[in-house]
Amino acid sequence: MTFSVASIRKDFPMLAEKIYGQPLVYLDSAASAQKPQQVIEKESKFICHHYAAVHRGIYSLSSKATAMVENVRQQVADFINAADAEEIVFVKGTTEGINLIANSYGYRFIKPGDNIIISQMEHHANIVPWHLLACQIRFDIRVLPIDNAGKLIFEQLDKLIDSRTRLLSFTHMSNVLGTVNPVKKIIAYARQCAEKKKAQLHIVLDGAQSIMHQMIDVQDLDCDFYVFSGHKLYGPTGIGVLYGKKILLNALPPWQGGGAIIDKVSMTLAEPSIINITYENAPWRFEAGTLNIVGIIGLGEALRYVNNIGYQQISAHETSLMQYANQRLSTVKSLRFYGSDERQGVIALNLGDHHAYDVGSFLDNYGIAIRTGHHCALPLMNFYQVPAMCRVSLAVYTTKEEIDILVEKLQHIEKLLG
């Protein structure tokens, strides 16, 4: 399709809303992107005409709903170039995906005295699950540092990896700084270091931020796991994806117990009773209970929407927009920027010494929505020695006119606050 941001904006009904009488300028897509009408209508149509429990019924409605869900699984596999649809596990989102890995892979492969590596720029979702697990298993967590430009010093992996390193888990793109890590290069280097140190190393990529900005090829990246959330990719909340290499997924135990993950269950009435359970193969052994069926259908439509536009056009628009935003924002004299100029989709800043919350509140009065706070990345705030940052994030529907409005209002706030 021919790219037209004006036409694309018409697909997003929320963008026509007003806040305090001002047109909405939505610059918080890194937290959650707005939803196109196509996704909204697809979910509504499914609820009205196709809804039924999946994987549980032989009647036609259930069979059709099951086929639709499994079609989306294949669609996701194609979208990220997984080798097999059975490498795609549906989860609530990135956070649940990482928790699943921690509580399945962690108990299977990590032993007391082992270690894993995460980075200094991680979201709490890629810190807390490992900390909770380490408190139980008693393994070490090592931290890959960043430099002043907000880039990973990945050469430090040669010092951090030893024979007892089991996992490297890090973000593809910083949710705060917009830094896009050279993940293919880092993964290749990590595997080289692991081979030299005779470490059985697996690699997790947090793709929550990168998935909306660039095409992902998990086979080319050679990661063992990749996780992302649907709601950051113009899809619904409450649905996400965990990709894992098939041979690895089938070696892991279920994380949650319940229906749909079972192959066989038997029990004896003798004392003590004996219960024997065998589980389905992946991905179904990780999908206990009733899936977010409607969310899966919405996710499929979101992927179709992105494919119809094309990542090449999305990237070209966002790159031009980021260059424009960097240029225009630099005219606000007291703005302080964090991270490198080589950022994607996200700009972290503060207005002088004013607290981010104050700036965000002022902008809200003008209908401008940005994210303020520590962005679930307190180690990063500590690195830059600030309590909070303002975060401006761009999407396929963001315009240069919206950047102009942001700059105008920041200059106004600058005069008001002094």
The residues, any chain, with a CB within 8 Å of residue 159's CB and separated by 6 or more, are none
Provide the CA 123 distance to its chain's centre, in angstroms.
10
> Pairing mode, if any, of strands 335-338 and 346-351?
antiparallel
Tokens of 293: 């069926």
**Are the C-beta atoms of residues 191 and 201 closer than 8 Å to each other?**
yes
First to last CA, the chain: 47
Give the C-alpha separation, 253 to 285, whole Å. 8
Tokens 């207005």 correspond to what residue? 351
- Active-site residue among 48, 135, 223, 376? 376
Q: What is the distance between the alpha carbons of residues 320 and 240, in angstroms, rounded to a whole number?
A: 29
DSSP code of 325?
H
Q: In Å, what is the CA distance from 168 to each residue of 101, 229, 318?
A: 12, 20, 30
Sheet containing strand 389-393, edge to edge, reads 335-338, 346-351, 389-393, 371-373
H/E stretch holding 302 reads: helix 293-309
Q: State the helix-helix crossing angle for 128-137 and 94-109, rounded to 10 degrees.
A: 20
Question: Is 374 within 8 Å of 381 (Cβ atoms)?
Answer: yes
Sign of the CA dihedral with 77 first, then 11, 35, and 343 last: positive
Q: How many whole angstroms separate alpha carbon 337 and alpha carbon 315?
A: 22
Give buried/exposed letters for 44-53 (b at 16+ CB in 10 A, else e): eebeeeebbe
Measured between alpha carbons, how far is 287 from 97 in angstroms, rounded to an integer? 11
48 catalytic per annotation:
no
Place of tokens 């990719």: 233
Q: Contact, 34 vs 8, CB < 8 A? A: no
- Say how far apart CA 181 and CA 179 lie, in whole Å: 6
Helix (H, G, I), strand (E, B) or coil at 71: helix
Which residues have a catalytic role annotated? 376
